[in-house]
């Protein structure tokens, strides 16, 4: 009986994979967070594992306190784990496994405002220039990866899932499969096309002609380069010119968004390009416009504080 909650979690993760088409990376994150909750219950109240209906707000709050107090986890991590619990309980309530979605009544901890890390225009140019110096087919692949990331702002899972048929050279666009299996079409810049063309030419000489539905980015053995491989290549490229706490490919997504807004792009258009479901998610990038306005005011207004 102690495995009842664990079985519901397994069913929930399967539902996310099959029905919601969540990526393996997202599923792994949900699994880790929910497993941490069941481990907490083994010490706190093992009966809750056998009877999920016994889990109340006090149990969930104690779990959050354990995370932030005993484990010293940051508010953002605690909020993410609570979000996983909310999704799980919503699923269990809909399936009739619990009589009340108790997690919905637990407030998410307040999060500090976080400005995404991004590269300056000179930094991204330096990264691309270094990659452009390589004549190897893998060097040309890495250049095409970074150019396409910076040109489109797509997610790493979207880039890893690309096949050659997703490219539309005539329209200068690429079709990606985003969250929730939603397709979107993103324009691709000329520099990215040139890098892709050189990479595909080199790939043809290395592995022979590729099928139109073959993966776009290949590893050294000619098989698809997965998210981990792409992450490693991007980290290595960025590390050559910048010392940042986070070196993930998401920095290029942030860089894409920041530079577009910096040049006057419309926020709603940026939302669609990034594939955000809500405008509030995109608004995190408006810090660029605020900083520019503050600087312009400070430099130009006769009554601005000059200290």
**What are the catalytic residues?**
155, 179, 250, 253, 276, 285
Of 80, 124, 79, residue with least CA distance to 240: 124
CB of 147 closer than 8 Å to CB of 195: yes
What is the pairing mode between strands 167-168 and 173-177? antiparallel
Of 66, 185, 39, 191, residue with least CA distance to 125: 191
- Phi then psi dihedrals of residue 45, to 5 deg: -165, 90
3-state secondary structure of 226: coil
CB of 37 closer than 8 Å to CB of 67: no
**224 strand-pairing partners:** 218
- Report how far residue 214's alpha carbon sits from residue 116's, in angstroms, rounded to the nearest whole number: 34
The gap from C-alpha 85 to its chain's centroid, in whole angstroms, comes to 20
The gap from C-alpha 117 to its chain's centroid, in whole angstroms, comes to 13
CB of 57 closer than 8 Å to CB of 13: no
CB of 141 closer than 8 Å to CB of 203: yes
- Report how far residue 58's alpha carbon sits from residue 64's, in angstroms, rounded to the nearest whole number: 10
HEC secondary structure over 102-144:
HHHHCCCCCCCCCCCCCCCHHHHHHHHHHHHCCCCHHHHHHHH
| Cα angle 98-103-107, degrees, rounded to a multiple of 5 | 165
Angle at which helices 267-274 and 250-262 pack, to 10 degrees?
A: 160
């Amino acid at each position: 009986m102690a495995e009842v909650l664990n079985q519901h979690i397994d069913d929930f993760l399967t539902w996310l994979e099959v029905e919601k088409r969540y990526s393996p990376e997202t599923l792994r994150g949900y699994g880790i967070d929910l497993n941490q909750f069941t481990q907490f219950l083994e010490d706190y109240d093992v009966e809750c594992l056998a009877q999920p209906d016994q889990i109340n707000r006090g149990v969930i709050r104690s779990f959050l306190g354990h995370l932030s107090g005993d484990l010293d986890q940051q508010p953002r991590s605690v909020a993410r784990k609570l979000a996983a619990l909310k999704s799980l309980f919503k699923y269990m309530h809909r399936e009739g496994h619990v009589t009340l979605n108790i997690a919905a009544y637990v407030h998410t901890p307040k999060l500090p405002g976080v400005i995404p890390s991004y590269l300056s225009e000179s930094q991204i140019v330096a990264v691309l220039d270094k990659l452009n110096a390589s004549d190897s087919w893998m060097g040309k692949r890495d250049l095409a990866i970074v150019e396409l990331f910076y040109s489109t702002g797509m997610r790493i899972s979207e880039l890893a899932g690309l096949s050659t048929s997703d490219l539309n050279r005539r329209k200068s666009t690429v079709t990606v499969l985003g969250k929730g299996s939603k397709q979107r079409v993103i324009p691709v810049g000329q520099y990215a096309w040139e890098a892709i063309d050189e990479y595909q030419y080199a790939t043809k000489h290395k592995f022979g002609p590729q099928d139109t539905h073959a993966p776009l980015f290949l590893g050294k053995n000619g098989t698809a380069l997965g998210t981990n491989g792409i992450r490693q290549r991007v980290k290595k490229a960025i590390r050559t010119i910048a010392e940042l706490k986070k070196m993930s490919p998401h920095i290029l997504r942030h860089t894409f968004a920041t530079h577009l807004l910096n040049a006057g792009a419309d926020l709603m258009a940026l939302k669609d390009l990034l594939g955000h479901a809500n405008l509030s998610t995109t608004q995190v990038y408006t810090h660029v416009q605020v900083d520019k306005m503050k600087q312009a005011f400070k430099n130009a207004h006769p009554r601005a504080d000059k200290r």
